Amino acid sequence: TPVLLNDFRAGAREAGRPLGEVITKVFVAVDEDLETLRPQLQRFVTGYAIVPAYNDLLSRQGFAAEAKELAEAWAQGRRRDALAAVTDDLLRTLIVFGSRTACEAQLRAHLDNGVDSLIIAPVTAATDPDERRRRVRNTVEQVARALAR
């Protein structure tokens, strides 16, 4: 977030415009771990990162090597290699997941870094529809409680 906000602020200054409200969408999975989420999140991030604009965004966020490897692997039809280029470090940077306390800390970091409002997009690795609903509800309730303080 800080890198992107710096670019955003610089663009507003160059254009002579006020910064305005900063709103960001954050993918959140409370009480889910990386081992469980990894396959789904790798596919999710790859779907974005094969688009040149999003690939460039990953590079600007400090993941130039991963972005390049992912794009090259995808272009060459090496889908598994493209997925593997989505590292755990990249996932930890882009997606908020873990315990309620860990998620709260990461969400507060967004707010502390200049984001005014968060759009929470719950994610889960659950495949059963009832379990998916339970986990999404849990994420929404836990985030609401954490940020209400």
Element housing 80 (H / E): helix 79-84
pLDDT tens string 118-141: 999 999 999 999 999 999 999 999
CA within 13 Å, CB half, 133: 2
Read off the DSSP letter of residue 60.
Answer: I
pLDDT tens string 33-80: 899 999 999 999 999 999 999 999 999 989 999 999 999 999 999 999
Distance CA 139, CA 7 (A): 30
**CA distance to 44, 48, 58, 86, per residue, from 78 (Å):** 16, 16, 20, 13
pLDDT tens string 92-119: 999 999 999 999 999 999 999 889 999 9
